[in-house]
Amino acid sequence: AQSVTQPDARVTVSEGASLQLRCKYSYSGTPYLFWYVQYPRQGLQLLLKYYSGDPVVQGVNGFEAEFSKSNSSFHLRKASVHWSDSAVYFCALSASSGTYQRFGTGTKLQVVP
Amino acid sequence: GGIITQTPKFLIGQEGQKLTLKCQQNFNHDTMYWYRQDSGKGLRLIYYSITENDLQKGDLSEGYDASREKKSSFSLTVTSAQKNEMAVFLCASSFRGSSYEQYFGPGTRLTVL
């Protein structure tokens, strides 16, 4: 069975501070992993994805994520957040031969002045 | 680029009513998805379709029907709306399987009175 856990429902950080959003997955094979962002009243948009190779993947707007097979994790990071990063962030997992992605419950990020 | 259009944006119905949500995509994607988004519960897959006239049940298919009569469109029917049901329904599409990123529509917000 596949599952994704995002343990933090809400995260608040100050503008300019660094950010880490946590994602843990459960899957016996090699996963395909994704981070999506949802701005208010919009659908989800892809931030970045990991298929294989370098465990650190770069995404849009300065986001990056690191895959760890030993920790079953795919945490999202940003060095310096901006108020416009306030949104809900979803981690998702797919089996290599799967037909659908399984999503976590999301983390709502609030960036304060 | 392409776009996913969902209609209507807001849907208000009565308890027991049959309600239909529509989704159109012009990416020429093979696979389309319907998700239900409830606060704090992330995205739950209702139905997906890997090609025209194909339908596959997701985790939350009970109480819903779906239809994929054309490659570009995917409809979802709430067979009997439940009172106090409030959720956002998101449509998405992707190129073939789940290892590809999904593109999302802006959602239909359902309220049942």
Contacts of A69 (CB under 8 A, 6+ apart): none
Percent of chain B with pLDDT over 90: 82
Each residue of B21-57: pLDDT tens digit? 999 999 999 999 999 999 877 899 999 999 999 999 9
- Give the start-to-end residue ranges of the domains of chain A: 3-112
The chain-wide mean pLDDT, for chain B, equals 93
CB < 8 Å to B41, chain A: 105
pLDDT attached to residue A30: 83
What DSSP assignment string belongs to B37-55? EETTTEEEEEEEESSTT--
Distance of alpha carbon B58 from its chain centroid, rounded?
Answer: 11
Contacts of B61 (CB under 8 A, 6+ apart): B46, B47
Q: Is the pLDDT of residue B85 over 90?
A: no
Interchain contact, B92 vs A44, CB within 8 Å: yes
Report angle CA A38, A55, A92 to the nearest 5 degrees.
30
pLDDT by residue for chain A (113 residues), tens only, comes to 889 999 999 999 999 999 999 999 999 888 999 999 999 888 899 999 999 899 999 999 999 999 999 999 999 999 999 999 999 999 999 987 777 899 999 999 999 99
Torsion of CA B26, B35, B102, A37, to 10 degrees: 120
Q: How many CB pairs under 8 A join A and B?
A: 62
Interchain contact, B48 vs A45, CB within 8 Å: no
Best CA proximity match to A50, nearest among A68, A62, A37: A68
pLDDT attached to residue A100: 85
pLDDT attached to residue B92: 96
pLDDT attached to residue B60: 93
Q: How far is A65 from chain B (nearest CA, A)?
A: 16
Pick the residue from chain A with its C-alpha nearest to B39.
A105
Domains annotated on chain B, with CATH: 4-112 (2.60.40.10)
Mean pLDDT of B95-110: 88
Band of residue B65 on the pLDDT scale cut at 50, 70, 90: very high
| Residue A98 phi, psi (nearest 5) | -80, 170
User: At the fourth CATH level, which superfamily is domain A3-112?
Assistant: Immunoglobulins (2.60.40.10)
CB atoms within 10 A of CB A55: 12
